Amino acid sequence: MVHSSSNELNRTLGLKLAVVAVVGNILGSGVYKKVAPMAAELDSAALVLLCWILGGIVTLFGALSSAELAGMLADTGGEFTYYKKVYNRFFAFIFGWSVFTVIKTATIASLAYVFTESLNGIVPLPELLTGWSDINLFGIFHPFADFNIKLVAIILILLLTLFNTSGIKTGMGLSTALLVLVVLGISMIILFGLTSSQSHISPVLNDYGTTSFHISSIFTAMLAAFWAYEGWSAVGYIAGEIKEPNRNVPKSLAIGVFIVIALYLAVNVTYLSLLTVPQLKSIYESHNQIAAVEAVRVFWGPKGVMLISFLILITTLGCNHASIISNARVYYAMAKEGLFFKKVGTVNKAKVPATALWYQGIWSSVLVLSGTFDQLTDMLIFAAFIFYGATTLGVIIMRIRKPDLHRPYKVWGYPVVPALFLVFCVGFIFNTIISRPREAGIGMVLIAIGIPFYFYFTRRSIKNKISS
């Protein structure tokens, strides 16, 4: 690979493209799929909506808290940069390692998986290696199950990775075009769904289920909601390519999250007004149906299925593309600090960290082979909330440690908002360990593997400094 003489990124993105980065990283498969597992967990339409509202509020609290740190410390790498200054290099590395091994690469793998499932619904893909489908590792991973889906998902990841090596302006241009199509498509579902004769909103608001539920059920259902809201922090990763990042990153976070909350509430009211909870539970248990597809089938019939399948393709393509753009910048920032492989800290002629992109693409492809969609999303959400909590705690620490430091943005409702979000994170993490021990365990193991790597990279960095 030929590198430019300057090994730095260019600041070329304004506020509008920063908002596109926020919304584009959030709007993915969750808006179409996750209402079904939530209905199966809660057995109540009203409680499903409550979880979407709570998920939106918690996400907004987290985004507002993160925005304060972003206003002070914004630079390429997002939380990696914040943690290095608030905590230490070790914790910053563990975050970056977690982003690489599970949080963001599993996001990319999951989105590619759903993209290919939707493609398979439009154009059936030929079965591959069916005789190998029962092969497993530890009884958990089945790499050759649904191999036709997984192979196409891997091809998609690698093609998007290749495209994103051509420059961030090119990448963000595609993100904008795809996002416009997605918002228009979701708006059509809301408009035609809620105005159709089959839509019944009143029963939804009064459906509290026939069985008792526990707070744990709310937390478990919110795993699904948080997958749909996941990605808002990614704008911080590309802060080194945003103009006036201390002003534009906080603004884009607030604007972008508000847009997504409004869309999610409207579209999920639509789904629940068209499909009963038993129907959604059946969709979840089938493992090969998508709630949004069945909702559209109600008011547009079989012809609408093709349209919604195409919309899911565009959405997951756009979100995966946005994720690939932003997440690779974390590993680039790590390598610049001597905490990752040296070549990952370089850029190509287009001022893009191409090597970081390829490392990310290859590991994401491995994760595609590792598990199912829901297993991947539960695993990454558990890991993500460990660091969301750390970011919010960082706001409180910086207020105490450096109260006079200039803050272009101060979190609304301090200290109540950060404290509530922090308490929620702790409860959510412990609940996930209890309710999803396998996914939580895999996530913790992948995070822990980073500890020996930290000492390896640190020793190597010291040796390089001595020799130079």
Q: To the nearest whole number, what is the mean pLDDT of the chain?
A: 84
Of the ranges 93-97, 100-104, 258-262, which one carries the lowest mean pLDDT score?
Answer: 100-104
pTM above 0.95, yes or no: no
The band of 196, judged by pLDDT with boundaries at 50, 70 and 90, is confident
Structural tokens at position 243 = 């103009």
Structural tokens at position 280 = 């959604």
pLDDT for residue 335 is more than 50: yes
pLDDT for residue 394 is more than 80: yes
pLDDT for residue 380 is more than 50: yes
Of the ranges 71-80, 106-115, 379-388, 424-433, which one carries the lowest mean pLDDT score?
Answer: 71-80
pLDDT for residue 210 is more than 60: no
pLDDT for residue 360 is more than 90: yes
pLDDT score for 153 = 92
Of the ranges 114-118, 146-150, 209-213, 228-232, which one carries the lowest mean pLDDT score?
Answer: 209-213
pLDDT tens, residue by residue, 1-17: 434 445 567 778 888 98
pLDDT tens, residue by residue, 252-293: 888 998 999 999 999 999 999 999 888 998 988 886 678 898
